[in-house]
Amino acid sequence: MTIAVSAAEIKAAGGLGPWMDKRMKNLNPRKDAFCGVKKSGMNKDKAKGEKVQGKAAESVGRTSEHDEQVALFRMFKFNEEKYPELRTAFAIPNGGHRFIAVAAKLKAEGVKAGIPDIFVPAPRGNSHGLFIELKAQGGTVTDKQFAMMAALSSQGYACIVSYGWQNAWAEVEGYLESGTVELWPITGK
Read off the pTM.
0.66
> What pLDDT, in 10s, does the model give residues 94-133?
877 788 898 889 889 988 889 999 999 999 988 999 999 9
**Sequence-distant contacts of 85-93: CB under 8 A, at least 24 apart:** 85/120, 85/121, 85/122, 85/176, 86/120, 86/122, 86/172, 86/176, 88/120, 88/121, 88/122, 89/118, 89/119, 89/120, 89/121, 89/122, 90/118, 90/119, 91/117, 91/118, 92/116, 92/117, 92/118, 92/119
Name which residue leads in pLDDT, 58 or 7: 7
The stretch 28-37 carries a mean pLDDT of 29
> What pLDDT, in 10s, does the model give residues 132-179?
999 998 899 999 999 999 999 989 999 999 999 999 999 999 999 986
Best CATH choice for the domain 7-187 from the list 3.30.565.10, 3.40.50.300, 3.40.1350.10, 3.40.640.10: 3.40.1350.10
Determine the pLDDT at residue 94: 82
Q: Any idea where the domains of the chain sit in the sequence?
A: 7-187
Strand partners, 91: 118
